[in-house]
Amino acid sequence: MENITTALTYHDRTKHRLQRYAASLGYMDWDTQPDPFRTYEGSKKIALAHTNLTPPYHLLFDQGALPAAPLCLESVSQLLRYSLGLAAWKSVGDSSWALRCNASSGNLQPSECYLLLPPIGGISTQTSLCHYAPKEHALEVLCEYDSPLPNTQIVLLLSSVLWREAWKYGERSWRYCQLDAGHAAAAVRISAATLGWESCLVRFDTGSAAVALGLNDPSRFAPMENESVDLALLISPEPIGDAPFHLPFPPSPPSYPANILSPSHHEWPILPIIDEATQGMYPQTAPLSLSRTLPDPSKSAGEIILKRRSAQMMDGSGISEMHFRRILDASLFLPETADVHFILFVHRVEGLKKGLYCYVRATEELENIRTATDPDFLWKDFGKGLYLLKEGEYQGAAQKVSCNQEIAREGAFSFGMLCRFASVLEERGAIGYKNLYHQCGMVGQLLYLEATSLGLSATGIGCFLDDEVHTLLGLKNQYYQSLYHFTVGRAIVDTRLTTLPPY
């Protein structure tokens, strides 16, 4: 109960409000900018291959259409290359920065990836614990040991360097780390699908995982640069059943020291408190009742994954209802996201009236959302979970609630991800709060890719005025909260930037 109170207090305290944004430095302290790339000094490095033979994107959603690739060094290379690998380098003047396949708030890239791999030729003759180094597209082998991990399964764990986000975003940064972890998880699962592999979230104890991976060992990390375990994925070329699964951790944690990311740090005492409160048994959630339909034939998955970029400006043009529907539908691909619903500001979708809509992604939640929101809403049924709440012009409102960002106004539509909230925390404990952000991030990554496949663009919006959104909906309690915002439209590309290949 105490942890739930901590989560609720953190959530309230880190809301952006019109009069006062959540606490942060308010400026960029460039002298302490964290290194976005983690490495482990002394570990064995294994260069991964650069495969570029990925199947057409639409086939990822056609269950059974793709034969499962064998689990070998090349397939592990492909899995990582098209999920957490670099997508491009950008440069302007003297500065250059890497962009990755997974979107990340402020491109600060807090997520780190660890893999428990069975014996694989070219990596190890034993089970190994490896860290993925995206800059080099290489594995760093941290431990080799004997374990009963079936030789057809990979466990991939994601953790966050909270400091990387805290450096810019202060107290609200924990939320962004969780959203980023969700984006990274979906990126991995989409990449696994390019290999015809299955994946699912694992129920596991995050605290024990942190100890087993040595992620909170003060002798390995500079103060404030340790990592917090977010989630774990089980990935396999073979069907994944329901049998309970134990993570095959090394008998003793690795000892290689991590590189130092910043020369000094600014402390945000609330961050270790919320981090500690949200550790525990990662929850398993009920699956979505709706499922996605097969998209039209499309380009190669790899091309779409590498091309995905966040729009920094939108051109204010409209899109077809078919594309709008396709994007909503794409959000259904990962079934463990049933607690997320959309409150949509529809600005310019041919065939749909401008206005405020609700997309109910788990039909059993309809009556609850209806009861919790403004009793004057129309709830006019447009089919497949879409309801018109109120006709009208919402461009100004969308921009206002999105911290005045024009992308929310100039997209064809923008929306907030409204999550079942207080009841989730009651059912699953404080770690349920963390999982809700993971659900939102996973949905976000799916939508970015679908928009790219349609020749459109999107941008995740972490900066929004929480309670302004809730007031707009007539929400009066904690039963639902909007945890992430998003916009979709046509991007205006910034031609001042030079794009260079990722590797």
Ligand X SMILES: Cc1cc2nc3c(=O)[nH]c(=O)nc-3n(C[C@H](O)[C@H](O)[C@H](O)COP(=O)(O)O)c2cc1C
Q: How far is the CB of 262 from ligand X (least distance, A)?
A: 19
Toward ligand X, which CB reaches closer, 174 or 394? 174
> Which range, of 26-34, 103-111, 338-346, 420-428, touches ligand X by CB under 6 A?
103-111
The DSSP call for residue 61 is G
Q: How far is the CB of 199 from ligand X (least distance, A)?
A: 20
Q: How far is the CB of 398 from ligand X (least distance, A)?
A: 13
The residues in 283-312 that bind ligand X, with binding defined as CB under 6 A, are 309-310, 312
Toward ligand X, which CB reaches closer, 92 or 294? 92
> Which range, of 48-56, 153-161, 179-187, 391-399, touches ligand X by CB under 6 A?
179-187
Q: How far is the CB of 212 from ligand X (least distance, A)?
A: 28
3-state secondary structure 401-436: HCCCCCHHHHCCEEEEEEEECHHHHHHHCCHHHHHH
3-state secondary structure 382-404: CCCCEEEEEECCCHHHHHHHCCC
Toward ligand X, which CB reaches closer, 373 or 459? 459
- What does the per-residue mask of binding to ligand X show for 221-260, with x meaning CB under 6 A? ----------------------------------------
Distance CA(116)–CA(212), nearest Å, equals 12
Distance CA(480)–CA(473), nearest Å, equals 10
Does 33 bind ligand X (CB under 6 A)? Our answer is: no
Q: How far is the CB of 107 from ligand X (least distance, A)?
A: 4
Toward ligand X, which CB reaches closer, 428 or 438? 438
Toward ligand X, which CB reaches closer, 179 or 446? 179
Q: How far is the CB of 352 from ligand X (least distance, A)?
A: 25
Q: How far is the CB of 462 from ligand X (least distance, A)?
A: 3
Toward ligand X, which CB reaches closer, 98 or 130? 98
Rounded to 5 degrees, φ, ψ at 414 are -135, 165
Does 373 bind ligand X (CB under 6 A)? Our answer is: no
DSSP for 435-456? HHHHHHHHHHHHHHHHHHHTT-
Nearest residue to 170 (alpha-carbon basis) of 260, 266, 272: 266
* Amino acid, res. 149: L
Does 459 bind ligand X (CB under 6 A)? Our answer is: yes
Q: How far is the CB of 403 from ligand X (least distance, A)?
A: 7
> Which range, of 25-33, 281-289, 291-299, 454-462, touches ligand X by CB under 6 A?
454-462
Does 176 bind ligand X (CB under 6 A)? Our answer is: yes
Distance CA(471)–CA(494), nearest Å, equals 35
Nearest residue to 280 (alpha-carbon basis) of 227, 174, 205, 214: 205
Distance CA(128)–CA(160), nearest Å, equals 21
Toward ligand X, which CB reaches closer, 328 or 483? 483
Q: How far is the CB of 181 from ligand X (least distance, A)?
A: 10
Token couple for 181:
């972890």
Does 24 bind ligand X (CB under 6 A)? Our answer is: no
C-alpha 409: how far from chain center: 23
Taking CB under 6 A as the criterion, the residue among 43, 54, 104, 153 binding ligand X is 104
Nearest residue to 256 (alpha-carbon basis) of 131, 148, 166: 131
Q: How far is the CB of 111 from ligand X (least distance, A)?
A: 10
The residues in 413-452 that bind ligand X, with binding defined as CB under 6 A, are none
Q: Which residues, in sequence order, are CB contacts of 64 under 8 Å at separation 6+? A: none
Token couple for 250:
């090394």
> Exposed/middle/buried for 30, CB within 10 Å: 0-12, 13-18, 19+?
exposed
> Which range, of 73-81, 346-354, 375-383, 456-464, touches ligand X by CB under 6 A?
456-464
Does 103 bind ligand X (CB under 6 A)? Our answer is: yes
**Angle separating helix axes 173-194 and 270-277, nearest 10 degrees:** 50
Task: Give the H/E segment covering residue 99.
Answer: strand 95-100
Nearest residue to 356 (alpha-carbon basis) of 331, 382, 336: 382
The residues in 105-134 that bind ligand X, with binding defined as CB under 6 A, are 105-107
Residue holding tokens 């911290």?
Answer: 403
Taking CB under 6 A as the criterion, the residue among 54, 399, 405, 435 binding ligand X is 405
Q: Output the residue with the shortest Cβ distance to ligand X.
A: 462
Q: How far is the CB of 365 from ligand X (least distance, A)?
A: 23
Token couple for 135:
């800059």
Cα 220-148-287 angle, rounded to 5 deg:
85
Taking CB under 6 A as the criterion, the residue among 46, 48, 79, 99 binding ligand X is 99
> Exposed/middle/buried for 213, CB within 10 Å: 0-12, 13-18, 19+?
buried
- What does the per-residue mask of binding to ligand X show for 311-330, with x meaning CB under 6 A? -x------------------
Number of residues binding to ligand X, judged by CB under 6 A: 20
125, 73 Cβ separation under 8 angstroms = no
Does 183 bind ligand X (CB under 6 A)? Our answer is: yes
Taking CB under 6 A as the criterion, the residue among 140, 171, 180, 339 binding ligand X is 180
Toward ligand X, which CB reaches closer, 253 or 411? 411
Rounded to 5 degrees, φ, ψ at 386 are -100, 130
Query: Applying CB under 6 A, which residues contact ligand X?
Result: 99, 103-107, 176, 179-180, 183, 309-310, 312, 405, 407, 459-463
